[in-house]
Structure 1
Amino acid sequence: MTVNAHAPITADAAIPASDETEDAIIRFEGVAKSFPARKSSAAVHALAGIDLAVPRSSVVGVIGRSGAGKSTLIRLVNGLEKPTAGRVIVDGTDVAGLGEGALRSVRRSIGMVFQHFNLLSSRTVFDNVALPLEIAGTDAATIKARVTPLLDLVGLADKRGRYPAELSGGQKQRVGIARALATQPKVLLSDEATSALDPETTRSILDLLGTINRELGLTILLITHEMAVIRAIAQRVAVLDAGRIVEQGDVFDLFTRPQHETTRSFLAAESGRELPAFVADQIRDEPIPGGQVVVRIVFRGPFATHPVLSQVTRELGIDVNILGGAVDSIAGRPFGTLIVGLPNDGTSLDKALAFLKERDLDTEVLGHVA
């Protein structure tokens, strides 16, 4: 299946791209969003000072906990919400500056996939996918020519006559994805699209979104509260906390060298990063005579696959006790985390940490155990 090239969205709100962001199909510039006070509650400041660029044909994730402002942020892209301050620019056009007629045109270039599918129970799979085309006044022959390959793409060609009640959760989400692609959008917004699915189904949906990104060149902006989703599909990520982006950048860099405490907390449960239960139960802040210092080592870059710990033992004569960890890859780049115990004397610890630092490995002293 191919996607037709679209002319840029045109409107009197069009904004020339700067050199720094000319490849960004979505840009948030100083965006804030507040909701007015109600009788029973104060005003809600959902977003503040949001600056974010989404490169064309990329997959960018926005991660945050409930109430962080993720859903508000994504609704600004298709004009379902308007910013209180700042600009949201989609393919050169300030969406907030559009009238309702122009906004409808923009929305046809922006597909959206929802957490709870939002399918019409009275319509078949084919007819659910065809719905946005019918609303746009597309003729029946064009609808058939558009919908049929989309059902092939999402693996539901044999389900075209079924109703939502006859489908699994994963199949319903595939219908939702096909429907979002029906108008041949340039941008696909994913609003917690996998959070209602089991892990295996989640992987299959993320694989499908990855295929769509690669084969159709579609830009995907997804919001989630799960780092595993970001890790599986995104190239870049922004971490949202209390309405502000506290950290953003390349997924590999954020996974391997998180700078903000919120990012670290999201990564805490990642395989290999958490302390084994038997260590967590014993760990103390103060040194224990004759005990060990517990250190987390993050393996990245050219030394990620080197036998560094055996070198510490062999070259420095320091015993290393491996307490836990995992080795994996992110975006095809090797990455590992090990929790180790080192002798509780300053000289050995300092030598070991210096040796690891020379090899561009990050270390963090977590505490002390007997």
Structure 2
Amino acid sequence: MKPIDRPQRPFFGSGPTAKRPGWSLSALEGAMLGRSHRDSVAKARINDVIVRSRKLLGIPDDYRLGILPASDTGAFEAAMWSMLGARGTDLLAWESFGKEWVTDATKQLKLKDVRTHGADYGALPDLGAVDFARDVVFTWNGTTSGVRVPDGTWIADDREGLTLCDATSAVFAMDLPWSKLDVATWSWQKVLGGEAQHGMLALSPRAVARLESYQPSWPLPKIFRLTKGGKLIEGIFKGETINTPSMLAVEDALDGLTWAEQVGGLKGLIARSEANLEAIAGWVEETAWVDFLAADPATRSCTSICLKIADLTVASFTDEDQQKFVKDMASLLAKEKVAFDIAGYRDAPPGLRIWGGATVDVEDMRALLPWLTWAFTEIRSRVDVDAS
């Protein structure tokens, strides 16, 4: 039967993600609209995002933290374009965005000394095979596969190369070992539910040293330039952005940070995300037709939670028919206004992708789960009718 209880906020898509509980447009009334971002007051608001993010995340004082254009993609590509090529590179790819960084390194930058460590969706590469005498490029959390690295113990403390980590769906939901990460990037539209188009870039002293000692052989677009005359452009890390930021998005980011501070800071955010994963894990354990895409519990993401259809009949369909089955489920749930945008990523195996980041209330997650079974049963019955 159709469930009675409904999620109060049916926003389970993986990006842009749900706004924080209680959010409304009134949260943005203080935005400095119509003002230059170079004005001292506006610049102070931009820099406040940097200062408060650093404090909330526990980023070391000797790391630089700045705001770059073009979301996480822009921030991470700025790092790749500016730093890679100084030594050999190991690339880890087990989902769509990791594979994009492989493409950037091999097809766009055309790096000559590259090793790729890959794995299928749902698994991790052999982390023990990574050579930390080389630069290492990886995602902390596979946003399209629901697979995260369990910790940073595999990253060498005495590494010679740099570690470049795309951490966009991990930051604010997972405890990152900053001393292991020379470069880390993320976007505003993930765990805190901010508005899009702005990326954050954290640099260790070792990364800064690379920037100031290495000149890549390829030209750098203006929005990727982090140095001038062989020295780091310090203003980027003090609120002087490379291009014009949206002051409306800045105000929204500050609102998200205020909420994060109110719910217990990083520990509170992590607890909220893990509670959502725990709710789904309990339901999966009791539900025969569904399973996690990530087989190892230690690698299951608490933000982009990816599920596959375990029902034997549906699992025997072609990928195309499975994709249609999932899309039909997602469309039915959207029509009922109980879940929006939860079909798996277009390049991923057929399945559901449910955002469990900190802005999602666990009560809404629990209310969603019976609806998933209802939608599965409805679409599955149509398949049986068609077959007959």
More strand by share: 1
| Greater per-residue helix proportion | 2
Q: Which has the larger radius of gyration?
A: 1
Assess same fold via TM > 0.5: no
* RCO comparison, higher one (Cα < 8 Å, 6+): 2
TM-score class, shorter-chain normalisation, is under 0.3
Normalised TM-score (structure 1): 0.28
